[in-house]
Structure 1
């Protein structure tokens, strides 16, 4: 999708117009010790996909404040110098993707990633939820569930858990694992044995 070379992106990503950009930090990321305690408390179950998942079972994007829906809210929250129009559509700004370190100046280049993908949530407990609860999960801005990231990196992740996919930046493993664990713990979602092993390894990089 992008015509840029990843290595060039990673080199140039640290600044916009020569000004360093901080990584976005959604709320609710636990300490390493808390994340390890939460991980130990999660139920371990096999991943069984019965083919019943449908993204429409997780309604997005809800109106969060004013005329801004969840996507627009996260773009404003995680961006730098974001300007929006009367419809709350971002017309300018900068976004630094914590997954790969790339910086974008077009909102169309940015996806809002669900840290714990919707299908993963479905298979690991959300199937039994009401549609209303699934919508709350899909639009959760009070935990580290929603992240503004490079669109094709988000697409590469898909619905994979950390044993099958990790962010390109190894320096982000610690925050990624803590965020994943917090979301699973908050929403009482189960994990697989392989997922737990991967998360343990990632937390050990903290």
Structure 2
């Protein structure tokens, strides 16, 4: 093979390596600049729009009332099952990359709060929200329940009743119903209405007139 041909081959090889290197660097830069979407951590059992509409239509409408004042202790919560409290179970379920210690408490992880779009990495900064607050449930029919049923409600992991959110947004919500409070993120209000309606339907709780009136446009905003 002539020296000229060998020289041309070496030049072609260097050019190919250069192109490959530039391409790899461009891909790396793209991966570094494109941010992944925030995780979504809705609880289980979120109904379709059609199902939620049927449930909303069937809810009993009546003014809030109870035979006795509300007391949070009437709803035993954060019970321990299989070594983990309900709170710890939801933290594991709703978090991303959650690592727990031998006591089931998270030692690392991150949590995306659906209500306000904030991500936190310290479990102490996360609250577990009862979508239908315990006080709201009390005045919507739970005052007539047994303590065992109230405990089941307060620790409900099978429906969309418990969700990990920031402590700040949970505090702002408190025990308000949708006529008084909705998630700050407008894009999350559809799902919130479906969680609220489905929980009230599953547990046979009533709604007051203002609450139902507020729920309908929230549900109307859903696309599915």
TM-score between the two structures when normalised by the length of structure 1: 0.89
Moved over 4 A (4+): none
How far, CA to CA, are the matches of 2:110 and 2:36 in structure 1?
11
Q: CA deviation at 1:50?
A: 6.4
- Structure 1 residues 98-136: Cα deviation after superposition (integer angstroms, max 9, x where no partner): 000000000011000000000000000000000000000
- Structure 1 residues 139-185: Cα deviation after superposition (integer angstroms, max 9, x where no partner): 00000000000101101101000000011000001100000000000
User: Which residues in structure 2 correspond to 1:135-150 (within 5 Å)?
Assistant: 135-150=151-166
Number of aligned positions between the proteins = 189
Unaligned runs of 5+ in 1: 1-16
Query: In the alignment, is the contact (CA less than 8 A) between 2:99 and 2:108 conserved in 1?
Result: yes
The secondary structure found in structure 2 opposite 1:112 is strand
How far, CA to CA, are the matches of 1:72 and 1:24 in structure 2?
15
Larger Rg: 2
1:22 paired with 2:39, answer yes
**Counterpart residue number, 2:215:** 199
Q: CA deviation at 1:48?
A: 3.2
1:190 paired with 2:206, answer yes
Query: In the alignment, is the contact (CA less than 8 A) between 2:134 and 2:175 conserved in 1?
Result: yes
TM-score between the two structures when normalised by the length of structure 2: 0.82
Unaligned runs of 5+ in 2: 1-33
Which residue of 25, 31, 35 corresponds with 2:48? 31
The secondary structure found in structure 1 opposite 2:196 is helix
How far, CA to CA, are the matches of 1:50 and 1:186 in structure 2?
22
The CA RMSD over aligned residues, in Å, is 1.4
Q: Higher helix fraction: Structure 1 or Structure 2?
A: 2
Q: CA deviation at 1:19?
A: 3.9
**Counterpart residue number, 1:14:** none
